[in-house]
Amino acid sequence: MLDDQLLVMIMQSDYVLPLVEISKLNSPHLEDRLSVAQALDQACKEVGFLYLKGEQFQPELFENLCRISAQYFARDQQSKMQHYIGFSENHSGYVPIGEEQFVKNVYDLKESYDVNYDYLGTEQRRPLVGPTQWPKNAEFKLHVSQYYQHLKDIGQQLFQCFALALDLKENYFDAHIAHAPSQLRLIHYPFNPQAQDQEGMGAHTDYECFTLLLPTAPGLQVLNKQGEWIDIPLLENTLVMNIGDMMEILSNGRYLATKHRVKKVQQERYSFPLFFSCDYDYVIQPVIETDQPKYAPLSGGEHLFNQTAQTFHYLKEKVASGEIVLNNARPLYSFGLNEHKEKL
């Protein structure tokens, strides 16, 4: 029987939000870790959007990240643009308002600093795998790097938890996330008195396996199975988690990528999602034993880059000029609830 202390259902309007307690992932006992896997499986299967809580979390790192981000985004635009994302080797750096666009002629009212996997080697570089572009601020790099590594460690535990949930060997994913282009975004939504007429971020699914998000204010909404947009309230000392495209494929549709957006809010808001992917060259395909795979194999890094190139202005320009060519690119919104699934 599922330990009801590990999975708590929180009511928000008519929508049930699961909260999964993951502290027992630190346990040396397999049965403890399996109990968390069962709770995670139920939450992802039934909802796909949930809260995580655990003794692993280090609140002081969250606080440092919020503080250093506020200091960074208070800088003048000219200073921030010195590290424009279009100057980087691995899609990292400052993203100004209007750079990212999910819907034609609609610009997201946000700015961000994107930190990709800081890979300093030379042999396995890929379009999203290389040295991160950092601003000339040692404190910024220190606190952001510490937070990235902290969540990366939690993410590895969650990959092992997903392996157990999918009846795989617990360490199945370990060999496939050594150099993953998992990206942390420091997102700033400025105060916007005209917010009633505009969206902060358009509706989308995340491209990767799963996302761990730390928001500082309300605004996040998720599309439920009835096609309704539901507010996701803040819950102290938790991270928000959602399923992405790649985990939908890996689970053969057991878990669906969850479409979400940021609604119109006037208040200043920060949001810190870390998107967990597998290694660039890892082929994403159903990993569970089945005679009826619902998805064709997908090159994980290629899919991630293709989706990114369809939303960022500087990459769209390179595609239009022929500088880069997108192979096997799927349209945006190819996954998730009510979307077409590619059958074999």
- What is the model's pTM? 0.89
- Please tell me the distance from the alpha carbon of residue 139 to that of residue 120, in angstroms, as a whole number: 20
- Please tell me the distance from the alpha carbon of residue 162 to that of residue 10, in angstroms, as a whole number: 22
Model confidence pLDDT, tens digit, residues 175-184: 999 999 999 9
pLDDT at 153: 96
Domain-embedded: residue 330: no
pLDDT > 70: what percent of the chain?
A: 86
- Report residue 102's pLDDT band, with 50, 70 and 90 as the boundaries: low
DSSP string, 40-55: HHHHHHHTSEEEEE-T
Say whether pLDDT at 106 is over 70.
no
Please compute the mean of the pLDDT values over residues 146-170 and round it to a whole number. 97
Q: Residue written as tokens 């993203």? A: 95
pLDDT at 336: 56
Domain-embedded: residue 184: yes
User: Tokens for 32?
Assistant: 């403890």
DSSP string, 85-118: GGG-SSS-EEE-TTSB-SBTTB--S-EEEEE--B
Domain-embedded: residue 328: no
Domain-embedded: residue 254: yes
Domain-embedded: residue 39: yes
Domain-embedded: residue 339: no
Say whether pLDDT at 12 is over 70.
no
User: Tokens for 175?
Assistant: 């060999």
- Report residue 159's pLDDT band, with 50, 70 and 90 as the boundaries: very high
Long-range contacts of residues 339-343, Cβ cutoff 8 Å, at least 24 apart: 341/253, 341/294, 341/295, 342/295, 342/296, 343/294
pLDDT at 228: 80
Model confidence pLDDT, tens digit, residues 254-301: 998 888 887 766 788 899 999 999 999 999 999 988 878 999 898 999
Total number of domains constituting the chain: 1
Q: Is 23 helix (H, G, I), strand (E, B) or coil?
A: helix
pLDDT at 283: 96
Please compute the mean of the pLDDT values over residues 334-344 and round it to a whole number. 47
Positive or negative CA dihedral for 145, 184, 216, 268? positive
- More confident of the two residues 47 and 111: 111
- Report residue 344's pLDDT band, with 50, 70 and 90 as the boundaries: very low
pLDDT at 311: 87
pLDDT at 44: 94
Say whether pLDDT at 342 is over 50.
no
**Residue 29, domain CATH:** 2.60.120.330
pLDDT at 338: 47
Domain-embedded: residue 336: no
Say whether pLDDT at 55 is over 50.
yes
Which residues have C-beta within 8 Å of that of residue 74, sequence separation ≥ 6? Answer: none
Please compute the mean of the pLDDT values over residues 60-66 and round it to a whole number. 96
Please compute the mean of the pLDDT values over residues 207-212 and round it to a whole number. 94
pLDDT at 26: 97
- Please tell me the distance from the alpha carbon of residue 93 to that of residue 116, in angstroms, as a whole number: 9
- Please tell me the distance from the alpha carbon of residue 276 to that of residue 242, in angstroms, as a whole number: 11
- More confident of the two residues 1 and 143: 143
Q: Give the residue numbers spanning the domain of 276.
A: 7-321
- More confident of the two residues 329 and 21: 21
Q: How many residues does the chain have?
A: 344
Domain-embedded: residue 341: no
Mean pLDDT score of the chain: 87
Model confidence pLDDT, tens digit, residues 198-209: 444 567 788 899
Say whether pLDDT at 195 is over 50.
yes
pLDDT at 13: 45
Lowest-pLDDT choice from 56-70, 93-107, 284-298: 93-107
